[in-house]
Chain A
Amino acid sequence: MALKYAPWPGLTEDISQQVFLEFIAKEERWDLERDLRPLLATMTRFVAMRLWRERTREKPEVVQKLAEHIRQLSEEQQIEPRFEQEIGLLNECLNKLPDTSRNLVQLYYYHEIGTPEIAEQLNMKADTVCRALSRVREKLRECIQRRLQAAASSYA
């Protein structure tokens, strides 16, 4: 949901944290006996839009336009709420990656090294590293989809 209203890199984590903080800050207002999902969904939407605005307004104008364009298209998209399930599958898919791809994921996500620095260390072109990372994510997504479909067909 955070991605739907704020399709900007690295924002989902901030949105989740902010929603959690605001929820805790107004704790006494909530009736914890009731289903909290609609409340959390509304909070997430508002927080997502607010943080998205804050994050993108510091960008150059053309980037802001692009971000707005992507956000509008994204809002029209239907995104399945199965993040938790996909995280589990992602772990399995990561283990299936070839060593080179896994190393790349390790450097970028686990050690938080940017693509220019990775390229420098691996003596590669930065664009090659960019391409490789995009492809790794695509492969991981395909792997997750295959596993979701396999799980769905096994229940059918």
Chain B
Amino acid sequence: MHDPVTDPEVLLQRYVEDRLSHEDALAMMELLTRDPTWLNKITSQLQTDAMLREVSKISCRSQDFKVQMPRRHFQWRASLTRLAIAASIAFAFFLIYPPDEEAELTTNAVAVLMSADHAQWSGYSPKQGMPLAPTVLHLTHGLAQIEFYQGARVTLEGPAKFELLSTNSARCTQGKLSAHVPPQAKGFRIETPKGTLVDLGTDFGLDMNMPSPEIHVFKGEVQLHRESAAILPIKGGEALALSYPSKKSNADQVAFESLATLDQRTAASQRQAFQNWLTLSSDWKADPSMLLHLDFQDAKHTRSLRNHSLQAANIPDASIVGCQWTQGRWPGKQALEFRNVSDRVRLSLPGEYSAITLCAWVRVDSLDRAFNSLFMVQGYENGGMHWQITRDGKLRLGLAGRSGAPNHDYDTPSIITPDRFGRWIHLVTVIDPSSHEVRHYLNGELAARLPRLHTFKVQMPLAELGNWNNGGRFGSSAIRHFSGLMDEFMLSARVLSDREIEQCAQ
């Protein structure tokens, strides 16, 4: 029991929560007698409480009512009949109070970072494949290739300061760049302190590192627009110093050759990354706490994924159902594609575990389902785990209740947003029994730290990657398959440190 109080706010909450003690009721009565207008507060609190309950229910229904476990409110109504009635009513309420239609997603991105080689940035540090909103990019070292949404492609060499202005324009104050402007992007503009370059569909180079910045047009035509001066055309094969526009010279393609080698350099860098991964991967294989390590580098005809962990004698290889092989993060790295309702990888892991770390490299192509499975145990009961991404991009660990403890979902905020679709991301979720926490990580960085309300061991006797099997318990099974690629999966019976997780994500 709690101590009696006279704090109106505490009393209000106890009233709303239906936890008033004898003394609380007396205190409330006194407050009301002294000031009848206090009733307005009570009514207001009850109204808001009723709406919040309704909103939380709508949110719950909108995910997947079909197999959603009954929430606490219904638990004391043991009868299944009542639950069925409640479901009908919930459906009726859904019709009466439909949730707002999903607002159309928007983006302010104007370009995408297509590739980079040894790129180092100062300030904002975009990653390869990342959509870019208007911003200043400060490339201190290396090469970076940016594709504007209207089609222009710019390769930058650091050190460079390049500001994205729109889908077809930018500002450059420092550095060297080459640009390819296809006919669809005609009119692409680059502003410089010495004037604005307007491209008429061409290939050109701009060197802002020279004492007098120079433009070299290799093909087509570029116009130089200056304040209070006539437009100056620069034809293919011509070059000029922007400070002395009247003096043209021959374009020097060799001076920009370093920018043309980006593709080769990127390929070399990918080979290196693959080698690094192979080394790190063998380290994980020697970790005794690793229960399951699937590196997806299996012979394609076997239709199984070998478990490379030291525990492999107890935990069998996984079986591939439906999925097709494809390329993973780098050339030479294999991945499985999950696309159809039937696609899945079947696993079995005997035992019960207090600590767990789940790691996966995935490429999310879309979030079509209310729940998009990464790793889900068959059914959902008795300490089972559902590792998944919700439709709104939250990474979720659902833990089925055990020993009287209720089911509970541990969610991040919406972190897997459409701008991450089609790019490789590293996801980790940790159950940490010592800190009583569930932690989620995205690309090596902590995304959410959530208190674990009830502690019990988890188990996953049968499970699936990229899909869910309800174990035949509810008749037809809800569709929760993953849409995308996966090229590595690890499950450890210990809590990986932040440093280890960061290392995995590199």
Residues of A participating in the B interface, judged by any CB pair closer than 8 Å:
2-3, 7-10, 12-13, 16-17, 20-21, 60, 62-63, 65-66, 69-70, 73-74, 77, 79, 83-84, 86-88, 90-91, 94, 105, 109-117, 121-122, 126-127, 129-131, 133-135, 137-138, 140-141, 144
- Kindly identify, within residues 249 to 288 of chain B, every residue whose CB is under 8 Å from any CB belonging to chain A: none
Do residues B2 and A126 form an inter-chain contact, with CB atoms below 8 A?
Answer: yes
Q: Which residues of B contact A133 (CB under 8 A)?
A: 13, 16
Do residues B89 and A110 form an inter-chain contact, with CB atoms below 8 A?
Answer: no
A60 in complex: contacting residue of B13, B25, B73, B408, CB < 8 Å? B25
Query: A130's closest neighbor in chain B, by CB?
Result: B13
Instruction: Give the residue among B36, B42, B46, B60 with the most A Cβ atoms within 10 A.
Output: B46
Q: Which residues of B contact A63 (CB under 8 A)?
A: 20, 22, 25
- Kindly identify, within residues 16 to 55 of chain B, every residue whose CB is under 8 Å from any CB belonging to chain A: 16-20, 22, 25-26, 28-29, 32, 36, 39-55
- B38–chain A nearest beta-carbon distance, Å: 9
Tell me whether B15 is interfacial, beta carbon within 8 Å.
Answer: yes
Chain B interface size, as a band, is 35 or more
- B469–chain A nearest beta-carbon distance, Å: 26
CA gap between A148 and B46 in the complex, in Å: 19
Do residues A134 and B46 form an inter-chain contact, with CB atoms below 8 A?
Answer: no
B interface majority secondary structure:
helix
A3 in complex: contacting residue of B50, B54, B57, CB < 8 Å? B50
Q: Which residues of A contact B53 (CB under 8 A)?
A: 10, 12-13, 109
A interface majority secondary structure:
helix
Do residues A10 and B18 form an inter-chain contact, with CB atoms below 8 A?
Answer: yes
Instruction: Give the residue among A3, A16, A86, A87 with the most B Cβ atoms within 10 A.
Output: A87
- B414–chain A nearest beta-carbon distance, Å: 12
Query: A117's closest neighbor in chain B, by CB?
Result: B453
CA gap between A10 and B12 in the complex, in Å: 14
B51 in complex: contacting residue of A69, A83, A112, A129, CB < 8 Å? A83
CA gap between A95 and B291 in the complex, in Å: 40
Mark interface residues in B72-106 (1 if CB within 8 Å of A CB, else 0): 11000000000001100100110001001000000
Q: Which residues of B contact A9 (CB under 8 A)?
A: 15-18, 46, 49
Instruction: Give the residue among B22, B52, B73 with the most A Cβ atoms within 10 A.
Output: B52
Query: A128's closest neighbor in chain B, by CB?
Result: B10
Instruction: Give the residue among B12, B14, B50, B453 with the most A Cβ atoms within 10 A.
Output: B50
Query: A126's closest neighbor in chain B, by CB?
Result: B2
CA gap between A144 and B45 in the complex, in Å: 13
Tell me whether B312 is interfacial, beta carbon within 8 Å.
Answer: no
A127 in complex: contacting residue of B10, B49, B89, B409, CB < 8 Å? B10
**If A63-B20, A91-B100, A112-B71 touch, does A20 touch B52 (CB 8 Å cutoff)?**
no
- A116–chain B nearest beta-carbon distance, Å: 8
Tell me whether B498 is interfacial, beta carbon within 8 Å.
Answer: no
Do residues B54 and A87 form an inter-chain contact, with CB atoms below 8 A?
Answer: yes
Do residues B15 and A111 form an inter-chain contact, with CB atoms below 8 A?
Answer: no
What are 9 pairs between A and B in contact, CB < 8 Å? A62-B29, A63-B25, A70-B32, A73-B39, A83-B50, A87-B97, A115-B17, A134-B12, A137-B52
Do residues B52 and A90 form an inter-chain contact, with CB atoms below 8 A?
Answer: yes
Do residues B52 and A134 form an inter-chain contact, with CB atoms below 8 A?
Answer: no
Q: Which residues of B contact A12 (CB under 8 A)?
A: 50, 53
CA gap between A126 and B7 in the complex, in Å: 13
- B33–chain A nearest beta-carbon distance, Å: 8
**If A77-B39, A91-B55, A130-B9 touch, does A141 touch B49 (CB 8 Å cutoff)?**
no
List 5 extra interface pairs beyond A9-B49, A13-B53, A62-B26, CB under 8 A.
Answer: A3-B47, A17-B86, A86-B51, A109-B52, A110-B59
CA gap between A73 and B31 in the complex, in Å: 14
Do residues B5 and A88 form an inter-chain contact, with CB atoms below 8 A?
Answer: no
Do residues B55 and A21 form an inter-chain contact, with CB atoms below 8 A?
Answer: no
**If A91-B100, A127-B5 touch, does A62 touch B22 (CB 8 Å cutoff)?**
yes
Tell me whether B451 is interfacial, beta carbon within 8 Å.
Answer: yes
- B164–chain A nearest beta-carbon distance, Å: 28
Do residues B10 and A66 form an inter-chain contact, with CB atoms below 8 A?
Answer: no
Do residues A21 and B85 form an inter-chain contact, with CB atoms below 8 A?
Answer: yes
- A44–chain B nearest beta-carbon distance, Å: 14
**If A21-B85, A87-B97 touch, does A113 touch B25 (CB 8 Å cutoff)?**
no
Do residues A16 and B93 form an inter-chain contact, with CB atoms below 8 A?
Answer: yes
Q: Which residues of A contact B52 (CB under 8 A)?
A: 90, 105, 109, 137, 140
B451 in complex: contacting residue of A3, A83, A90, A121, CB < 8 Å? A121
Query: B45's closest neighbor in chain A, by CB?
Result: A137
Query: B82's closest neighbor in chain A, by CB?
Result: A17
Query: A74's closest neighbor in chain B, by CB?
Result: B43
Tell me whether B228 is interfacial, beta carbon within 8 Å.
Answer: no
CA gap between A7 and B47 in the complex, in Å: 9
